[in-house]
Amino acid sequence: MSGEYAVLLRKRALNALKWAERAFNEGDYDVAVREAEYAVQLYIKSIIYRVLGEEVRGHNIRELLGILALSLIEEGLKSEAENLIEYIRKHRRELAELSEAHTRATYGLIEYNKEGATILLRIAKNVINMLKNLEVKIFGENI
């Protein structure tokens, strides 16, 4: 079951990223930003599930990455955890912006514009690419 659930989460993550790109191309920047943030959340959760076999209920991207780092340490993958922690430190501000994007895009008083959505979509893609690379290092492949 753990493999199936992780595959489902990853599929949902990549679909959310596609929807983010589609919304962006249609000029719906709030939806683009919200879906981009959601894509990252789901992708992180898919890897946590592959590592621990446990479902995680959090929503904050930095917290989820922290849980992933701790999970890697628990599983004896200290080098991968250290690399992830360094990524989190290096990209702290970007990750915070992406984490806030979902709430701001849904409940905020101001709409996202093209420039802001471009930045957040780029951040989301960068995080997902980093996670894909991490996945290959841990498991030898993406699922």
Residue type, 83: N
Residue 2 — very low, low, confident or very high, per pLDDT cuts 50/70/90?
low
CATH of the domain at 118: 1.20.120.330
How far is residue 40 CA from its own chain's centroid?
A: 2
Residue 1 — very low, low, confident or very high, per pLDDT cuts 50/70/90?
very low
What total of structural domains would you count in the chain?
A: 1
Distance CA(72)–CA(76), nearest Å, equals 6
Distance CA(103)–CA(60), nearest Å, equals 11
- Which candidate, 39, 8, 5, 3, places its Cα nearest to that of 23? 39
User: What's the pLDDT at 32?
Assistant: 98
Domain membership of residue 33 as a residue range: 2-139
Sequence-distant (≥ 6) Cβ neighbours of residue 75 within 8 angstroms:
51, 52
Whether the predicted pLDDT of 20 surpasses 50: yes
Strand blocks (E) in the chain: none
pLDDT in tens, 104-115: 998 988 899 999
Distance CA(52)–CA(9), nearest Å, equals 14
